[in-house]
Amino acid sequence: MDALDQVHLAFDARSLGLLNVILGIIMFGVALDLRVDDFRRVLREPRAIVLGLLGQLILLPALTFALVALLEVQPSVGLGMMVVASCPGGNVSNVITHLGKGNTGVSVTMTAITTLAAVVMTPFNLAFWGSRDPGVASLLTQVELDAGDMVATIGLILGLPLVLGMWTASRLPRVAARLRKPMRWISLLFLAGFIAAAMSKNWSAFIAHIGAIIGVVALHNASAFTLGNLVARAGRLPRADRRALTIEIGIQNSGLGLVLIFTFFGGLGGAAIIAAWWGVWHLIAGLSLAAFWALRRGADPGGAAEPARAG
């Protein structure tokens, strides 16, 4: 077994509990932006959302499986890639989509739906695709992964805060209006601070192995952004929707990935480092892409010029 597969990061039960709370706060903040009508809109104008869900829930895990096989990475690294790809979109995607002049409504709706779907789809994709790679399958077998336990964990961390946030937005609109904007930035700072603290506690292991995963994460993340853009272009979506799908599929809930890795795989080094570095890298890549788009308002990224549309 490679040395990276034998690394287990320091991460105690209290730290895991704190991360669960932070993720719950993040999802509560996302839900403050949601209305039941957002889901009704999917029925009225389903094309962008359906294509986005296809890319996020079906194609990205399949693409990740192909990358793991093509790159011949260590089993723990492959596991980390599959865990991240099986997670729903991250809530920061909504902010990045807005900054990049994309369709924020599509982004928020996709985040909400993939979060709800994650209760079933994350365990399914991880078990389905992970069992097809011999190295990753061996890790799944070692921990006797229980899909029921994973469903319960995800439901508690994501599903419950989402319902509470939507209830607050519906029943206490003034409270929701005051919380909405600060929650976006507070939740992002909490998550970034937590990841930084976790990395500092395991700095020697991180530095020793970061060289092995920087390129993998960059390629994986770029592939996810590209997949989102290609799916949107195949569906002939307008520019703002294309930007939303590109960001949504490229920004994953790596915090949830860390929870799953530490809860079910004991903080296996390669997997945990992949998820932690993804949480840093996708912000750098996503914000850079949004800045590039914002500076080219009148031009269609990667295509012919077209009139600017409202995000």
**Domain positions in the chain:** 3-294
Q: Provide the pLDDT for residue 180.
A: 80
- What fold characterizes domain 3-294? Na+/H+ antiporter like fold (1.20.1530)
pLDDT digits (tens, 9 = 90+) for 258-307: 888 888 887 677 888 898 888 888 888 998 999 999 887 544 443 333 33
From the number of C-beta atoms within 10 Å of its C-beta (0-12, 13-18, 19+), residue 8 rates as middle
Tokens of 1: 């077994």
- H-helix segments, the chain: 13-31, 36-44, 47-53, 60-71, 75-86, 92-99, 104-130, 134-143, 147-154, 160-171, 173-201, 203-234, 239-250, 254-264, 269-294
Closest CA to 187 of 279, 271, 266: 279
Terminal CA-CA length for the chain:
49
Q: What is the pLDDT of residue 181?
A: 78
CB within 8 A of 256, min separation 6: which ones? Answer: 23, 87, 88, 118, 122, 154, 157, 158
Spans of the chain below 70 pLDDT: 1-16, 19, 38-43, 91, 142-150, 191, 195, 198-199, 201-203, 205, 267, 297-311
Q: How many residues does the chain have?
A: 311
pLDDT in the model for residue 24: 80
Q: How far apart are CA 46 and CA 40, in angstroms?
A: 9
Chain mean position to CA 208: 26
Cα–Cα distance for residue pair 268/143, rounded to 1 Å: 11
Report pLDDT for 125: 93
pLDDT at 95: 75
Question: 10 Å Cβ neighbour count for 178?
Answer: 12
